[in-house]
Structure 1
Amino acid sequence: MSKFRKKSNTKTEIPTSALPDIIFMLLFFFMVTTVMRESEIKVEQDLPKATQLKKLEKKSLVSYIYVGKPRETHRFGEEPRIQVNDVFISTPEIVQYVETERSKLDENDQNKLTMSLKVDDEAKMGLITDVQEELKTANALKVMYSTPQDIERD
């Protein structure tokens, strides 16, 4: 009688030659689709509503100034403050901020810098006027007020 033997030399390895390609495709996908937040807003804002909108051509030429009551009132008080990037600044420091933002741009785009003011609805006009005067001093004459659009449908 003959005996049948089973071969136990079968390979059960998973092919890993395509694994680095798959990992790099996933990495590239997440790098392209992820949006990084520019700055953490530390002031409360109830923005006034707008009735007209104008689309910006290049968002990279816009720098934001936030004005409003600090969210952490126990640390920063109740008075409206000026925030740029992730820090609070005083009114005289706006000129230095504008110069820093201009220095980050190409020479051709430095005159196209737009300052976007996001101001709380309850902020005092005196503070906003001071900010505007400092922007004039810094020769930042393109100023935009950012608001959500208020659409009334009939």
Structure 2
Amino acid sequence: MAFKRASKVGAFIPTSSMGDIAFLLLIFFILTVVFTNETGLVVSLPRADASEEGLRDMISNVFINEKGMISIDDMIVRPEQVAGVMSQKVAENPFMIVAFKTDKETPYGVVSDVMEGLKEANAVRVFFNTDLNLPGVAY
């Protein structure tokens, strides 16, 4: 006697709550994972030994106003005296840095004369101070 085979039962997995389960697993792993900050290399930086007074001796300030008057370290000089004054300063300190500060209305001829005097005195380490005005950046 042949038995009648029962109808095949299909395998069915409900997927309606699968999104909820995935979301709960995601929250579980977010809460249990330990977040570590990467430290990178541990570097011990040296302390600076130069004092501020020592740095002042290395810098010579050259000011030129809008009228063309020249001041070197608070001493008013004429354009033809720049080379002599700066030669003395360079002889005292060959590593001297010249901080060049001029008014924006200063005649360029005066600036050029002073730069020529600095070149004659071999004061070639010069930086120009400007009023940096970048849009959107506050100083």
Bucket of the pairwise TM-score, normalised by the shorter protein: 0.5 to 0.7
Contact conserved, 2:61 with 2:73, CA < 8 A, in 1? Answer: yes
Aligned residues with identical type, % of pairs: 20
After TM superposition, the structure 1 = structure 2 runs for residues 42-81 of structure 1, keeping only pairs within 5 Å, are 58-69=55-66, 79-81=67-69
Specify every segment of 5 or more residues in structure 1 that has no aligned partner in the other structure, as ranges: 1-34, 37-57, 70-78
2: distance between equivalents of 1:123 and 1:149?
18
Q: 3-state DSSP class of the match of 1:148?
A: coil
> Which position in structure 1 is the counterpart of 2:132?
149
Count of aligned pairs between the two proteins = 85
Of structures 1 and 2, the one scoring higher in RCO (CA 8 A, sep 6+) is: 1
Counterpart code for 1:95 = A
| Misfit runs of 4+, over 3 Å | none
1-structure distance, mates of 2:124, 2:90:
13
Equivalent of 2:78 in 68, 73, 90: 90
**Cα deviations across residues 4-41 of structure 1 (Å, max 9, x unaligned)?**
xxxxxxxxxxxxxxxxxxxxxxxxxxxxxxx99xxxxx
CA RMSD of aligned residues (A): 2.3
TM-score when scaled to structure 2?
0.53
- 1:1-154 matches, within 5 Å, as 58-69=55-66, 79-105=67-93, 110=94, 112-153=95-136
Normalising to structure 1: TM-score of the pair?
0.48
Following the alignment from structure 1 to structure 2, what is the Cα–Cα distance between the partners of residues 114 and 87?
17
Q: 1:149/1:60 Cα in 2 relative to 1: closer, same or farther (>3 Å)?
A: farther
- Per the TM alignment, residue 93 of structure 1 is displaced from its structure 2 partner at its CA by 1.1
Could you tell me whether the CA contact under 8 Å between 2:64 and 2:71 is conserved in 1? yes
Larger Rg: 2
5+ residue gaps in structure 2? Answer: 1-51
Amino acid at match of 1:116: A
Looking at structure 1, the residues matched to 61 and 115 of structure 2 have their Cα atoms a distance apart, in angstroms, of 13
